[in-house]
Amino acid sequence: MPRKKQEPIIIKPAPIEEQPVTQTLEKNFMPYAMSVIMSRAIPEIDGLKPAHRKLLYTMYKMGLLDGKLTKSANVVGQTMKLNPHGDAAIYETMVRLTRGNESLLHPLVESKGNFGKQYSRDMAYAASRYTEVKLEPICRELFGDINKDTVPFVDSYDGEMKEPTLLPVTFPNVLVNPNQGIAVGMASNICSFNLREVCEAAIVCLKSDKVTADELLEIMPAPDFPLGAKLIYNKDEMRAIYETGRGSFKLRARYNYDKSNNCIEVTEIPYTTTSEAIIGKIMELIKAGKLREVSDARDETGLSGFKVTLDLKRGTDPDALMTKLYKLTPLEDSFSCNFNILIKSVPMVLGIKDILLHWIDFRMGCVKNSLKYDIKKKSDRLHLLTGLKKILLDIDKAVSIIRRTEREQDVVPNLMDGFGIDEIQAEYIAEIKLRNLNREYILNKTAEIEKLMEELEELNRILASDKEIKKLIAKQLREIAKKYGKDRKTELISGENLDVYKEEHHIEDYALTIFFTRENYIKKVSAVSLRSTTTEHKLKEDDEVIQTIETTNKSELIFFSNKCAAYKMKTYDLADSKVSAMGEYLPGILGLEDDEKILYTVVTTDYSGMMLFTFKNGKMAKVELKNYETKTNRKKLVGAYSDKSPVCDIRFIEKDEDIVVMSDNNKVLCLNTEKVPLKATKSTQGVQVMTLKKKGAKIARVMKAEDSGLENLKYYTTKNIPAVGCFLKKEDSQMSLL
């Protein structure tokens, strides 16, 4: 029998569930963002991120504060019990804390082996199985009294262990060691300060919370970095950083000149750069022909410390060269401050005073918890000894009670009844060894009662007084400053009298001519070359020179494009050319978009004069050229002119002059540009100059009146604008655009 044809199985696609983006952000992105901010990237008031804290606490529990060095791999493995990250991430965290890496002003981990260097981008640290570590002595101040309930403990991620939420640091570590972190929607960048200065500033804040930024500047004038270098000091800028927690300052490299070898030895560099970045930039400048004074640059860092050597050419002034290098290379670099810290799980950008006050508040809490712990322990001890004192009157009675008690569980109740003591005291007495049931032992023990009472009285007195607690904190700070304090590494120099390199002062100046073509080629031809040449311009087919401008090598070029943008460059940055050469292709030099081209070029030395923009809708805008001057030497200015209507003509005028405007229906208008008001905004639409009554008519041409060839200019001249203009006369018909 024929088999029945099996019907195909139709699988219906699962319905697509739409989910609003707000719900997605709330469910997925917000928890991630919070996790990064709270548990990863932003340091807390103890100056540590969670990864640092977990690592250091693990090393503390491993006994590495007093013990010998152990393999880094061992520490990394143990830390994974608290930190659920890969071994590479944990080891990288450790590397930055080590003395060998030189990232911290006061390293927290003593190290043996290769841990790379903060000042080197390419020097890789050795694997964890080759290096050894232990805690530095200063870590005693991080873990002081941690076993006295000074800080809260929480369960680890798997609930198997306990870990501290903060470390009870006895000095403001958050300001002593630099810290950087990038979270989601926020970041933190805290520079380091000298330990002695920070401790002294904290003591001043302990005495009064009304301390000002100027008073703090007297104590701790500026940051201090592990790599040293020189800080260009500006008191107003530093005050702003101290008050707001935001701002920036500049660091300069320190160098020596070796006269015998004619070389410069750079021995300290800014904290924010690396030796590879410096050497790379120097070699780039040498290849570009902008650094002819240097023949070679190399890294000579060795056991004696950091050193980058620059070999100089004969006759080079080393100080003048370094001034130039400060300007052109990372030998001078900026440090941007963003003192963003988690305070009780809330990110805050704080000034120095507020950071110190929050630390003092945190530290006072730690000290109070420690005092409460000591009071409880001593009170418990006193309670036991008080019970012991009661049996001193009749030791034989105590022995008799114990001997006459038939069951073991009745010993404590019988002692309680016999001497009028509580269960804890009776338990303590019952546990005393038989050999210690003598008068001498009990007298020695009970002699502690008076001492304990005095100690408890003193502890309660301190706990009840914030003033006394602050005195205790100040005493600890003085001891730490004396024990671990070091002289400043970063030298402060005034920025007022520093020599600043200005490139134009070192540029050869000479007369030249700029040639700009319709196809966007540009040539810079010196006057000497122009006088000696007899050849014609080499141009692409159908190309022509549309602008010829005489200027000097120390001028600036402004290029206006069809995308309402202005591009700027120094004339001396344009390569010298010859009439017989094609010249430079501007879109390639300026990085124009595919459909963007340059319409007009302006050359200026002082930004005097005005720009005149004529739009096809009959409007004209006049803007001062100074509006295109920028202090930051930006290469591109957007909104260089209005985009409301297509531009018909762009021209530079030194002063007001007569111009002729023609529409595409042969209407002509002659006017003086003084009738066009000067506008302050580059992107202004200007004012209506010619009224275009014919539908679809537009401005087609603009020229100087003297170049127009019109026989009777007065006939076309208007007194007021806007004006309709006049049709071309027969004798001027050669000017027709139709």
Catalytic residue set: 130
Tokens matching residue 495 = 């920025």
Helix axes 50-61, 87-97, angle to 10 degrees: 80
Backbone angles phi, psi at 27, to 5 degrees: -80, -40
Contacts 24+ apart (CB under 8 A), 464-473: 466/364, 469/364, 469/367, 469/368, 469/371, 470/206, 470/207, 470/360, 470/364, 472/367, 473/170, 473/202, 473/206, 473/360, 473/363, 473/364, 473/367
Measured CA to CA, the distance from residue 718 to residue 716 in angstroms comes to 7
Cis status, amide bond into 722, omega within 30 of 0? yes
Measured CA to CA, the distance from residue 713 to residue 694 in angstroms comes to 23
Measured CA to CA, the distance from residue 502 to residue 488 in angstroms comes to 32
Burial of 594 (0-12, 13-18, 19+ CB in 10 A): exposed
What three-state secondary structure class fits 398?
Answer: helix
Measured CA to CA, the distance from residue 360 to residue 473 in angstroms comes to 8
Whether the Cβ atoms of residue 571 and residue 603 lie closer than 8 Å to each other? yes
Cβ contacts of 290 within 8 Å, gap of 6 or more: 328
Tokens matching residue 247 = 């701002």
Do the strands 678-679 and 619-624 form a parallel or antiparallel pair, or are they unpaired? parallel
Tokens matching residue 605 = 């030395």
Whether the Cβ atoms of residue 468 and residue 461 lie closer than 8 Å to each other? yes
What three-state secondary structure class fits 690?
Answer: strand
